[in-house]
Structure 1
Amino acid sequence: MSKQSNLLWGGRFASGPSAELTALSRSPASFFRLSPEDLAGSRAHARELERAGVLTADELGRMLETLDAIGADVAAGRETPTPADEDVHTFHERLLIERLGPLGGKLRAGRSRNDQTANNTRIYLRRKARSLSALVLKVQDALLAQAQDHVDTLMPGFTHLQPAQPVSLGHHLMAHAQSLSRDISRLIDWDRRFDRGPLGAGALAGTAFVGDSMASARDLGFARPCENSIDAVASRDVVAEFLFATAMLGVNLSRLSEEICIWASRQFAWARLDDAYSTGSSIMPQKKNPDIAELTRGMSGTMIGNLAGMLATLKAMPLAYNRDLVEDKRNLFETLDLLELILPAFAGMVATLRFDTERMAMDAPRGFTLATEVADWLVRQGIPFSHAHEISGATVRYCEERGIELDGLTADDLPKIDDALKPEVLKVIDPRRALAARSGVGGTAPVRVREQLAEFRKTCDAQRDWVKVVPSGAALDAAKAPAQ
């Protein structure tokens, strides 16, 4: 009679794996965070085996009670993986057999680590999509509060990092908020697309013991089972798409980080960082550094790399499951761990920013940002825009040659530039007037910014509602995984 092995796959082999293979094959410690999800899948599978007649009702009761106890012990740190536990599945089966004897070995019937890991990952990511969105919402709330305070604050808007036109600071901050809102929308859309349960797919062909896949899927909070058993275990677009959504989130945070670094510089001096959300220099006592923004900017590159790494892993992989796919968790966990560090600090940094509104208003017309107002005024006098553009450009050149801004022009200067310019044009060289004139939907006029804020609050409320509706299923109610 063959000796019982702790491995889930050892029966066909005459000897155990080498020390080198064991070290390579063993899951990193961070992978064991999927313990709650794996135990949830085990509960659902146990119920399926009872429906199939593999377990009696009494055996099912004992199995579920023991799985619950294992979950509590793992969460409390009373049970931890040993070096012989190759992965979280091996860990749980060892504990189950230690506590239930041969009954514990019955649970493996009709399932594979292939569908277990696919199932665990989906459950985990559906939960993380919501907790991550809750953290992004705190950043959005901080941006919304700042924008509300600065609807009427003037600043120069930029294109190509050159002064372009005056805009409302509130409007500019809401541009960042809108991009973050789409990041949450992507996660919501991702969740809808992958609301399918892989459990029951087995190694690749399905299982002879699953009689009610819909019940198992719903038991784990999925709308329905995956449509194809091979696709269920072999595809990782569920991971790649999640990594794209998080990489895009990282990029959007990085863009705002870059602007905060610029605004907080001595050369701009538009924003002041709160002491609690900035650091100093070990050698230069005067320094106040935007470390949160800089770390976010740097870590976004790691998130992009994790997406690229996942796509590279998938690009030439034949169906069905291949061991290469374990890399999905390495990429995922690093990205998620980074965002869970970044987002709370980022929200605090944004919420505590203080703006020098007088300096920003003073800079708003600098760099000839009102040149378009001159061109628009000429258009209203019946001059084609192509010609109005030339006259406005000549006006800028005239000012540059004399070292003045547009608001330094006088009525005497105008005929020297072009006869089409009349004294009335000087009235439009006013940044607040320019702001109010951009009153189309989505424009920077304060009246439109206030409308945008009101609509955005509704969007945030709807996203908060989605975050609160956690998919049903034991995994999402289970205790936390052991500390890593």
Structure 2
Amino acid sequence: MKFKFYPLYSLAVLTYFLLPLKSKAQFLNEKVSTTDSSKNTRLKNLSDASRIGRASGSKAAEFQELYDYEVSSKNLIGETFPYQTLLHKAYVIMLAEQKILNPDEAKNILQGILKVDQLAVKNTALQVYLPYESQLIKEVGSTGGKMHIGRSRNDLDNTTNRLYLRDQLLEVISAVIQLREAIQSTALLHLETIMPIYTHRKEAQPGTLAHYLTAIDESLSKSLMRYIELYDRIDQCPLGSGASGGTSWDLNRQRVAELMGFKQLVVNTIEGAAGWDHITEFAADNAIYMNGLSRLASELQLWSTDEYNSVELDNSYAGISSMMPQKKNPDALERTRKAAALTSGQLMSILTSLNGIEYQHSGVRLMLEPKALDAILAATHTMTGVVRTLHVNKQILLDYTRKNFSTMTDLADVLVRAAHLDFRDAHELIAAVVIKAIAEKKTADQIDLEMIQTAAKEKLGHKLSISEKQVKTALAPLQSVAHKTGTGMPAASSVLQMISTGQKDVASKTLWLEKQKTYLSGKNHQLMELVKKYSQ
């Protein structure tokens, strides 16, 4: 067999194998984009190639986040590095104020920090503390080693982690607030969207979509409160604890904490190095919150099945099958549930890592990873969009409520009120009516007075003093809902009160969030001004 020699092809192959790994990927992408663009103009962007069939149109940016976090190259060292450099600056200024460093030493170290920070952008090995310090000493001489006076990597790392988690927590709080706003806005649109309330995945009683959404909002309000309460326990500075036993240097722990925006100290120096409950609590709060979000996603996925056909995702949050043309998959919901599983796993990993160690600093402990935190943000942003754009089939929901016996409790209540039966007798009588209706292939709205009187004669030996109008009123889902006006119930007036309460709560939490952000921004500005002053 003879092989033909193609110079251009051979050159391309040779070029490919001489490239580093990252460049190979770029090389292949360039070749694919140039060769495929002429064949299929519809797939202009290969990353969006799945936007065809029943899920045509652009993918929501929030939805894309649920894909991006899984392949992200983020790591804890890289994400916490900016906070490490902030800590160095605050610590050097405190050492200078305490006259542990003289002005020239502080100036040289701060100038050196700026140089090493720039180098660390390209050389990520410098983002680890000891290589960072080594490079600092190369830049400014032995003076650079004085930056570490009175501290250990133990308190340094714990402080850096707290700075990182503090900002991440504010991001999560902001995202949950936005989700609650979306749920409240959508609830206002569905005060009279009648639907069955389910228990055990069976129709239970009539309600409204607004009533259901306010239940979700109330659940989210508790998660939001847990996060806000957690903030105070994360916003504590352990710097100055040293390895665990403190230091003989005259450090001003309160001052360095203030420079970094901390409002409190981790007082005990052993706790400063060994304490990890704030991380466990963050992971637990995440798992609780995401568990609730997963339940919402699971329910919406159930309702979006062809059998329920109660709701439909907007195309921008759906996917397709590469084989089956009819498919419109609830990808945003499934990936939200997947993200929830990740957060539960993260909690178990952290708890397990702590269970096997004594109360001291240890490398066995696991930290909250950026991937788990990004998963929470991605899922929350996505579900915010899902709720805002959800298509609701109001007529189908009404038909389910009217036909599938969810009004039977109302009918039993009529027998108690009008015919003066005790509730257990009324319950048994209506159960007999339902059994007969199902046997005769009748729906709930086809039940009439005659069926009830027949059952009463059989069960009680006599007919009841009720009217056909009373029966029909009890069987009307809208009337059923309208009569339930008590606190927290599905009548529009009650739901409006819950929405109003939720909106006030969101407003107060938004003010709290802005207050924290403003405070931290101000402290950061003050620190940068001091860095300028001491660097001159």
- Please indicate, yes or no, whether the TM-score normalized by the shorter chain is above 0.5: yes
What is the rounded CA distance, in whole Å, between the counterparts of 2:76 and 2:264 in structure 1?
A: 29
Q: Comparing 188-197 with 209-218, which one deviates more in the overlay?
A: 209-218
Q: Which residue in 2 is equivalent to 1:235?
A: 275
Q: Which residue of 1 aligns with 2:383?
A: 346
Q: Which moved more, 1:139-148 or 1:339-348?
A: 339-348
Identity of aligned residues (%): 27
- Residue 311 (str. 1) matches residue 354 (str. 2): no
Residue in structure 2 matching 1:426, options 472, 487, 490: 472
Distance 1:421 1:365 in 2: 24
**Residues 459 and 262 (structure 1 numbering): CA distance in 2 closer, same or farther, change over 3 Å?**
same
Q: Which moved more, 1:177-186 or 1:309-318?
A: 177-186
RMSD across aligned positions (CA): 2.2
Once residues 91 and 130 of structure 2 are traced to their aligned partners in structure 1, the CA distance between those partners, rounded to angstroms, is 16
Counterparts in 2 of 1:29 and 1:352: CA distance versus 1, 3 Å: closer
Aligned to 1:334: 371
- Given that 1:93 and 1:105 are in contact with CA atoms closer than 8 Å, whether structure 2 keeps it comes out as yes
Structure 1 residues 210 and 182, CA, compared in 2 at 3 Å: closer, same or farther? farther
Q: Distance in 2 between matches of 1:388 and 1:61?
A: 86
What is the 5 A alignment of 1:386-397? 386-397=424-435
Q: Distance in 2 between matches of 1:132 and 1:80?
A: 30
Once the two structures are TM-superposed, the CA of residue 138 in structure 1 deviates from its matched residue by: 2.4
Match of 1:80 in 2: 123
Q: Does the aligned pair in 1 maintain the 2:194–2:401 contact within 8 Å?
A: yes
The counterpart of 1:474, out of the listed 485, 502, 524, is 524
241 and 476 in structure 1: CA distance in 2 versus 1, 3 angstrom threshold: farther
Q: Does 1:180 align with 2:220?
A: yes
Deviation at 1:210, TM superposition (A): 4.1
Give the equivalent residue in structure 1 for 2:86.
40
1:277 aligns with 2:314: no
Structure number with bigger Rg: 2
1:146-185 per-residue CA deviation (whole Å, 9 max, x = no partner) reads 2111111000110000000011101112222222222221
- The one-letter code sitting in structure 1 at the alignment partner of 2:464 is A
1:378 Cα deviation from its structure 2 partner: 2.4
Residues of 1 paired with 2:421 and 2:116: CA distance? 80
Instruction: Show CA shifts across 1:117-159 (max 9, x none).
Output: 1111111111111111212222222222221111110001100
1:50 aligns with 2:96: yes
Q: Which residue of 1 aligns with 2:410?
A: 373
**Alignment CA distance shift 1:476-1:165 (3 Å):** farther
Task: Please give the TM-score of this superposition, normalised by the length of structure 1.
Answer: 0.86
SS in 2 for 1:392: helix
- Structure 2: which 5+ runs fail to align? 1-73, 457-462, 529-536
The answer as to 2:445 corresponding to 1:404 is no
1:131 aligns with 2:179: no
Contact 2:482 2:492 in 1 (8 A): yes
Contact kept, 8 Å, 1:143 with 1:351, in 2: the verdict is yes
Q: Is the contact made by 2:83 and 2:163 (CA closer than 8 Å) also made in structure 1?
A: yes
CA 1:132–1:374 in 2, change beyond 3 Å: closer, same or farther?
same
Stretch deviating more after TM superposition (183-192 or 412-421): 412-421
- The CA deviation at 1:191 is 0.6
Partner residue, 2:38: none
- Aligned residue for 1:440, secondary structure, equals coil
Of residues 104-113 and 180-189 in structure 1, the stretch that sits farther from structure 2 once superposed is 180-189
Structure-1 separation of matches of 2:143 and 2:88: 14
Equivalent in the alignment of 1:18: none
Matched, 1:147 2:187: yes
For residues 309-346 of structure 1, what are the alpha-carbon distances to aligned partners after superposition, in whole Å with 9 as ceiling and x for unaligned? 10000013112101112x21xx4322112123323222
Tell me the distance in 2 between the aligned counterparts of 1:348 and 1:98: 51
- Alignment partner of 1:299 is 2:339: yes
The CA distance in 1 between the partners of 2:379 and 2:76, in whole Å, is 19
CA distance in 1, matches of 2:413, 2:255: 65
> Which deviations, in whole Å up to 9, do the C-alpha atoms of 1:91-131 show, x marking residues without a partner?
43234223221121101111011101111111111111111
Partner of 2:247: 207
Matches of 1:368 and 1:149, distance apart in 2: 26
> Is it true that 1:439 corresponds to 2:475 in the alignment?
no
What are the Cα deviations for residues 431-468 of structure 1, in whole angstroms up to 9, with x where unaligned?
01111122111111111111111111111112222222
**Is the contact made by 2:342 and 2:372 (CA closer than 8 Å) also made in structure 1?**
yes
Q: Which 5+ residue runs of structure 1 have no aligned equivalent? A: 1-27, 479-484
2-side partners of 1:367 and 1:29: how far apart? 52
1:220 aligns with 2:266: no
Tell me the residue number matched to 2:11. none
Q: Assess if the C-alpha contact under 8 Å between 1:42 and 1:107 holds in 2.
A: yes
**Residues 110, 208 of structure 1: 8 Å contact kept:** yes
Q: Distance in 2 between matches of 1:363 and 1:476?
A: 61
CA 440–71 in structure 1, closer or farther in 2 if over 3 Å, else same: farther
Give deviations 1:243-269, integer Å, cap 9, x for gaps. 111112221111111112111111111
Hey, what does 2:422 align to over in structure 1? 384
Equivalence for 2:199: 159
CA displacement 1:226-283 (0-9 Å, x = unmatched): 1211111112111111011111222111111111211111111111221111111100
Q: 1:67 aligns to what? A: 113
SS in 1 for 2:505: helix
Partner of 1:13: none
Q: Aligned residue for 2:508?
A: 462
TM-score, length-scaled by structure 2: 0.78
For 1:413, what is the secondary structure of its paired residue?
helix
Deviations 1:190-224 (A, max 9, x none): 01233321101110011222432211222222222
**Is residue 270–residue 360 contact of structure 2 (8 Å, CA) maintained in 1?**
yes
1-structure distance, mates of 2:359, 2:403: 60
Q: CA offset at residue 69 of structure 1?
A: 5.2
More helix by share: 2
How far apart, CA to CA, are the structure 1 residues paired with 2:317 and 2:172? 21
2:442 is paired with a residue whose SS is: coil
> Whole-Å Cα distance in 1 between the matches of residues 110 and 431 of structure 2?
78
Query: Residue 170 of structure 1 aligns with which residue?
Result: 210
Task: Provide the C-alpha distance between the structure 1 equivalents of 2:526 and 2:173, rounded to a whole number of angstroms.
Answer: 16
> 2: distance between equivalents of 1:439 and 1:332?
46
Q: Distance in 1 between matches of 2:329 and 2:501?
A: 35
For 2:189, the aligned partner's letter is: D
Q: Distance in 2 between matches of 1:178 and 1:132?
A: 17
Count of matched residue pairs: 442
Q: State the Cα deviation string for residues 390-433 of structure 1 (Å, max 9, x = none).
A: 22222222322322233212232221011236223332211011
Q: Is residue 38–residue 88 contact of structure 1 (8 Å, CA) maintained in 2?
A: no
